[in-house]
């Protein structure tokens, strides 16, 4: 409390001439009028004295700006900016303030009522780039390519936007247009206007690798959606019926999805036991287990820098348990859990509350999954050298004498 009073005295001292002196004294009265209310609310919320002092700093500054700024200010705009700055100060790209329009888009997205252009994006600092383009989507038809930089969305520079805001600005109601300014190496920036559409595609599909033995199965998982586990089971059972003796799981470009879907798939390929732990700041731990009782077949997982979240959980569990060899390049490193807290003006805060840990206790956040065998995929490569390496590795497991 003493610190706060000293700050107000400093204000009166600095503005102790003429009319400004009375303004400052009036401001002092307004501040003290709110102190009792702040203390009462703080006590109700169980806040410490340090919390109360910080709240006083905030309200004092807000009241000072409201009453003394040279132009009329919008109180809601001040609070929105303060909340945005508060969350941004965490330095976490996955914790963001969602204004009403962004929060509405997020709710529509999670309820399936949204359209898109069919691209998966990544970001490196302020640079947002495309890491995969889905077949038959507006993005593919428009000519977007992997490694394209997204410079602006509808004229707004992505360097001025949170990554989450970029993604939600590109998504929207099916049938509406969005214009991306694209940067491509060796070419001037160009605008691409696309009409959003509902993106429908199978998230897991399998086939037998066509060779003389015909005993290696291949399943590509593009994301972990509500139906992915069912699609994986269908592909897995079909390959088993065809005589599959080894399995390649391709998680390249998979941005993640539902944790529960990932665990459902782990039940087919991860030995019985821990798949992933979700640990909160206070040490609270929630563990997700595989109930797979039978033998696991020789397996290889392919990942790259665009494999994120649930992809990393599955790859990490298979690696830690020794159930599969991981081939490719280091994954993205998105190993955290977010929750959304709605606010009172149709806005919300999305906040990281926990981190994922592999069965051996490795944190995925920031570091990703390092492959057992590093295989880069050259940009202009005619062959898929990562898949070639995976096929060789799984065949060596099936026929170790060779």
355: nearest Cα among 302, 291, 305, 312? 312
Greatest CA separation found in the chain?
96
334 is known as an active-site residue: yes
Q: By the 8 A CB rule, do 32 and 5 touch?
A: no
Q: Which of 169, 222, 290, 309 is catalytic?
A: 309
Q: Residue 188 burial by CB count (10 A; 0-12/13-18/19+): exposed, middle or buried?
A: exposed
68 is known as an active-site residue: no
Structure token pair of residue 347: 């806005």
Tell me the pairing of strands 216-221 and 246-250.
Answer: parallel
Q: Residue 111 burial by CB count (10 A; 0-12/13-18/19+): exposed, middle or buried?
A: exposed
Torsion of CA 269, 280, 95, 53, to 10 degrees: 180
To which H or E segment does residue 393 belong? helix 385-398
φ and ψ at 236, to 5 degrees?
A: -65, -50
Q: Which of 290, 319, 334, 386 is catalytic?
A: 334
CA torsion sign, 120 to 122 to 127 to 129? Answer: negative
List the beta bridge partners of residue 195: 177
The helix/strand/coil state of 42 is: helix
338 is known as an active-site residue: yes
C-alpha distances out from residue 122 to 110, 163, 194, Å: 20, 8, 20
- The residues, ordered by sequence, that sit 6+ positions from 288 with a Cβ below 8 Å of its Cβ are 259, 263, 274, 275, 276, 277, 278
- What number of other Cβ atoms are within 10 A of residue 114's Cβ? 19
Return the active site residues: 309, 334, 338
């Amino acid at each position: 409390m003493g610190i706060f009073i000293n700050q107000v005295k400093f204000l009166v001292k600095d503005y102790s001439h003429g009319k400004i002196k009375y303004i400052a004294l009036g401001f002092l009265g307004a501040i003290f009028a709110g102190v009792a209310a702040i203390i009462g609310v703080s006590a109700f919320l169980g806040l410490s004295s340090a919390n109360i002092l910080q709240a006083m700093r905030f309200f004092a500054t807000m009241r000072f700006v409201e009453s003394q700024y040279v132009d009329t200010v919008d109180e809601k705009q001040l609070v929105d900016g303060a909340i945005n700055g508060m969350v941004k100060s965490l330095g976490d790209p996955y914790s963001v303030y969602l204004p009403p329009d962004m929060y509405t888009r997020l709710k529509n997205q999670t309820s399936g009522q949204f359209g898109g252009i069919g691209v998966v994006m990544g970001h490196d600092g302020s640079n947002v780039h495309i890491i995969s383009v889905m077949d038959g989507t507006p993005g593919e038809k428009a000519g977007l390519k992997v490694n394209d930089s997204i410079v602006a969305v509808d004229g707004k520079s992505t360097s001025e936007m949170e990554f989450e805001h970029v993604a939600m600005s590109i998504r929207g109601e099916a049938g509406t247009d969005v214009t991306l300014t694209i940067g491509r190496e060796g070419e001037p920036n160009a605008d691409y206007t696309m009409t959003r559409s509902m993106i429908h595609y199978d998230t897991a599909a399998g086939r037998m690798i066509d060779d003389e033995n015909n005993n290696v199965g291949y399943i590509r998982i593009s994301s972990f959606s509500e139906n992915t586990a069912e699609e994986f089971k269908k592909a897995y059972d079909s390959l088993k019926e065809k005589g599959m003796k080894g399995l390649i799981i391709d998680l390249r470009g998979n941005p993640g999805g539902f944790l529960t879907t990932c665990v459902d798939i782990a039940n087919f390929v991860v030995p019985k036991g821990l798949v992933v732990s979700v640990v909160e700041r206070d040490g609270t731990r929630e563990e997700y287990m595989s109930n797979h009782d039978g033998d696991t077949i020789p397996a290889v997982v392919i990942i790259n820098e665009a494999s994120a979240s649930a992809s990393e959980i599955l790859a990490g569990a298979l690696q830690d348990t020794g159930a599969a060899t991981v081939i490719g390049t280091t994954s993205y490193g998105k190993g955290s859990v977010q929750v959304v807290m709605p606010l009172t003006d149709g806005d919300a805060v999305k906040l990281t509350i926990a981190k994922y840990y592999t069965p051996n206790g490795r944190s995925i956040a920031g570091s990703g999954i390092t492959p057992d065998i590093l295989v880069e995929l050259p940009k202009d490569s005619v062959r898929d050298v990562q898949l070639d390496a995976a096929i060789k590795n799984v065949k060596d497991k099936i026929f170790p004498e060779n």
